[in-house]
Chains A and B, each alone.
Chain A
Amino acid sequence: MSAVAETLVRRPPKRGESFFKNQVVRAIISIAVFIAFWELASRLNWPWVGQAPAPSKVLDAWLPLLNDQGYWYSWYQSSRRVLSGFIAAMIIGIPLGLAMATSRVFHDITFPVFEILRPVPPLAWVPAAIIFWPTQELSIGFVIFLGAIYTIVLNVVGGARSIDVRYFQAARSMGSSSWDIFRRIILPGVLPSIIVGCEVGIGITWNVVVAAEMISGGGGAIQSSAGGGLGFFIWNSYIGFSYPLIVVGMISIGIAGWISSAVIRRLGLLVTPWLRVR
């Protein structure tokens, strides 16, 4: 619990702390140094790193895209797919995890299957997903769903198991029924772990979006060829030998993933006010 609290809560910078201690300043410095190093490596044609297109070339490729409606439609497409797959994973994963954590029998019956399916990468599910589901969008959503569900379930189970036994004993001795204990001890006790699971889970959904959107073959794109989703955008750029555009797609997914995790973290703090206090 307390470890969770520490990773979730960040102390706001106090007045009078030096410029460099500001979190935003540090982030900017980190990114700037990274880009400078990359540009340098590319210009000097260092091994490995030098193979990548320089940040300046990437920017040259990116700027025209900012006026391309198709590119923004890709953002919309991928976000929509990620969100629906992720929400499905939450709707199924959280109750599944709670059931596995609270019922020994249910756990023993479901866990072996869960553990065998878990290592199968979502990419390997692509052909099966195409066969299983009637529409392309459902197939994509399913692959994304698979990316998030395992992490969510594991975090819920682990979180529920790690609730201090004294909370159960105290609740029992004060006359709580099993339902009270589920609602007033297990649910709030597991909430921080649910949030961590979702935060990690939504990151993974962005990891699998490339694989998932390969299914689409760019279907559903409007306005321009850049509109098939960010994952498809990368795949398509690769087929078209446009290396700077691949990097644009990669960075776009990186940013999208970062924003998603930050939003989940914020929402998480809203529903766990007791973790904000320390």
Chain B
Amino acid sequence: MNAAALQMATKGAIRIQNVDKIYDPAGAAVQAVSDCTLDIRAGEICMIVGPSGCGKTTLLNAIAGFHDISGGAIYLDGEMLCGPDRPKAEPGPDRVVVFQNGALFPWKTNLENVAFGPVMQGKLSWSAAAEKARGMMADAGLTGVEHNYPGEISSGMRRRVEIVRALMNDPKVLLLDEPFRALDSLTKSVMHEALLEIYYRNKVTIFFITHDLEEAIFLGHRVAIMTTRPCRPKKILEVDIPHPRNYSVLTSPRFRALMEETVSAVHEEAVKAFEAGEKEM
């Protein structure tokens, strides 16, 4: 990996400013996010760590435009996505989500899934999109499964197909919601390196939700540790381990030190969440 490839993208900075989100304001009034401010730099991998149900996914849904917010504003490269006059952002191909349990369309082949976005946006014809998709799948080590259905390949491969499908849209931001949660730890480690490799090739901002601290420090430029509901950053960790990284990083003293520095903060919130007995939001 040469240095040029590691230059960061200039687009895809997200500013989350004083965001509030209250579910069911007239009834139960659950405060999922409260006065949350977080700046995500263009081209960085920003890891969002917090216990289950702390409101991380609420933030992601607000950026993606799946849900509205109750207060504050979110900007992408200075342009307001949602804010006081427009509580819900418009979903768009500049911010594509890779979902927790995967959302590949089961009735389309892997290739059709990957080619889907550019065709929908009218940017490419089916055949041109299929050609580009083939190339991107080959780059991600997905040769040979193009004409299989998602149900026919392993869950690790499905996840990779889905990430490639998202990247086909040339997004500024990739929104990942615990994408590797359902994978076993060995597959997960392979996926981490695959994701980094994809990231080094495609300059894109990554907003990555997880509750796995090790995953967060290994992948991220920065790790934002969130408080349990209501959600806001509790501590932001700069991971000063240079990219490109590979798995040997995990045993390095610096990695261990960063783990030690943050593990108690995460544990504290996990205990709070556990005691509150909150369910996934």
Checking B91, B105, B107 against A169 with a beta-carbon cut-off of 8 angstroms, the contacting residue is: B91
A residues in contact with B165, CB < 8 Å: 174
Taking a contact as CB atoms under 8 Å apart, the answer to whether A170 and B99 are in contact is yes
Within 8 A of B (CB), among A155-192: 164, 166-167, 169-177, 180, 184-185, 188-189, 191
Closest to B149 in A: A274
Taking a contact as CB atoms under 8 Å apart, the answer to whether B107 and A173 are in contact is no
Taking a contact as CB atoms under 8 Å apart, the answer to whether A274 and B107 are in contact is yes
Interface size range on A against B: 20 to 34
A225 within 8 A of B: no
B residues in contact with A166, CB < 8 Å: 99, 101, 103
Within 8 A of A (CB), among B125-182: 148-152, 165, 169
A residues in contact with B92, CB < 8 Å: 173, 175
Taking a contact as CB atoms under 8 Å apart, the answer to whether B107 and A174 are in contact is no
A277 within 8 A of B: yes
B residues in contact with A119, CB < 8 Å: none
Most chain B CB within a 10 A radius of its CB, from A170, A185, A189:
A170
A84 within 8 A of B: no
B residues in contact with A171, CB < 8 Å: 105, 116, 120
B97 within 8 A of A: yes
A residues in contact with B108, CB < 8 Å: 188, 274
- Closest chain B CB from A181 CB (angstroms): 9
Most chain A CB within a 10 A radius of its CB, from B99, B106, B121:
B106
B residues in contact with A191, CB < 8 Å: 107
Taking a contact as CB atoms under 8 Å apart, the answer to whether B97 and A173 are in contact is yes
A residues in contact with B150, CB < 8 Å: 274
> Are A173 and B116 also in contact (CB < 8 A) when A188-B107, A274-B107 are?
no
Interface of A (DSSP majority class): helix
> Are A277 and B103 also in contact (CB < 8 A) when A174-B96, A174-B120 are?
no
Taking a contact as CB atoms under 8 Å apart, the answer to whether B107 and A170 are in contact is no
Taking a contact as CB atoms under 8 Å apart, the answer to whether B120 and A180 are in contact is yes
B247 within 8 A of A: no
- Cα A117 to Cα B97 in complex, Å, equals 44
Within 8 A of A (CB), among B77-117: 91-93, 95-97, 99, 101, 103, 105-108, 116-117
A residues in contact with B91, CB < 8 Å: 169, 172-173
Taking a contact as CB atoms under 8 Å apart, the answer to whether B121 and A274 are in contact is no
A1 within 8 A of B: yes
Most chain B CB within a 10 A radius of its CB, from A184, A185, A272:
A184
- Cα A170 to Cα B93 in complex, Å, equals 10
Closest to B101 in A: A166
Checking B66, B93, B103, B122 against A167 with a beta-carbon cut-off of 8 angstroms, the contacting residue is: B103
Closest to A166 in B: B103
Within 8 A of B (CB), among A180-221: 180, 184-185, 188-189, 191
Taking a contact as CB atoms under 8 Å apart, the answer to whether B121 and A167 are in contact is no
B244 within 8 A of A: no
Checking B93, B97, B107 against A175 with a beta-carbon cut-off of 8 angstroms, the contacting residue is: B93
- Cα A48 to Cα B74 in complex, Å, equals 75
State the A residues within 8 Å of B (CB).
1, 164, 166-167, 169-177, 180, 184-185, 188-189, 191, 272-274, 277-278
State the B residues within 8 Å of A (CB).
64-66, 91-93, 95-97, 99, 101, 103, 105-108, 116-117, 120-122, 148-152, 165, 169
